[in-house]
Amino acid sequence: MTTTSQIPAVTDYLVAAAQASLSPGVTVFDGPQPVYAWQAIEQVLFIGADPMSLTEATAEAEQRFATALDSGRLRDEDGSIVCAAQHWSGDPAVKTHRDGAAAIVAGVELLLRGTPRTGAPGDASMGGLCLWSGVDGPYQWYPRQVTNGAAVMVVFRVTYRARLTTS
């Protein structure tokens, strides 16, 4: 099997794992959504989207040969997927929403910590898709006052390293 990039599989894994594991109040979106689809939702996680900058790339990867001894069949891919978490409830206190957005990011971080064989709550290998993964920066925080209170969005990245093989 030949894999060109793990970006699609990593994105799919993140969406499914977040939908299954984050608190029930968090709505998980796969990619960008129209504003009217999420502006009134209190807790939102975007996988593969940055609503604050819809013109920027939301995933990227670099590849290189893993070793010269394998006749060019193995490549390592270092990639990142842009994600964003927003918290809003109508409360005008920014701290409430900063803490809420941070809790969503922490939930994603827990998804990617540990390995199933150690009994840890997460899986840094994303079910074997990657050699490792984790939540990474830069973290960009966007607090703002909106018509019905305050909202805070934090944009972050999930980074990973995968081994691509040709068999």
Query: In the structure encoding, which two tokens stand for residue 95, read together?
Result: 């701290």
Does 82 have pLDDT greater than 90? yes
Does 76 have pLDDT greater than 70? yes
- Tokens 């969005």 belong to which residue? 153
Q: How confident is the model at residue 5 (pLDDT cuts 50, 70, 90)?
A: confident
Please state, in angstroms and rounded to a whole number, the distance separating the CA atoms of residues 164 and 28: 28
Query: In the structure encoding, which two tokens stand for residue 167, read together?
Result: 């068999």
The pLDDT value given to residue 71:
61
Strand partners, 158: 81, 135
Q: What is the mean pLDDT of residues 55-71?
A: 78
- Tokens 């994600």 belong to which residue? 83
Please state, in angstroms and rounded to a whole number, the distance separating the CA atoms of residues 5 and 25: 32
Q: What is the mean pLDDT of residues 120-131?
A: 86
Does 29 have pLDDT greater than 80? yes
Please state, in angstroms and rounded to a whole number, the distance separating the CA atoms of residues 89 and 101: 11
Query: In the structure encoding, which two tokens stand for residue 68, read together?
Result: 């010269």
Question: Which CATH number is associated with domain 7-165?
Answer: 3.30.2000.10
Domain boundaries of the chain, sorted by first residue: 7-165
Q: pTM, whole model, 2 decimals?
A: 0.89
The pLDDT value given to residue 112:
93
Of all residues in the chain, what percent are helix, strand and coil, respectively (each to 5)? 25, 40, 35
* CB-based contact 134:108 (threshold 8 Å): no
Q: How confident is the model at residue 149 (pLDDT cuts 50, 70, 90)?
A: confident
Minimal CA–CA distance to 83: which of 122, 26, 125? Answer: 26
Q: Which of 3-17, 41-55, 70-84, 146-160 bottoms out in mean pLDDT, i.e. has the lowest?
A: 70-84
Strand partners, 17: none
Query: Degrees (nearest 5) of the Cα angle 62, 64, 70?
Result: 150
Count other C-beta atoms under 10 Å from residue 35's C-beta: 8
Q: What is the mean pLDDT of residues 5-29?
A: 93
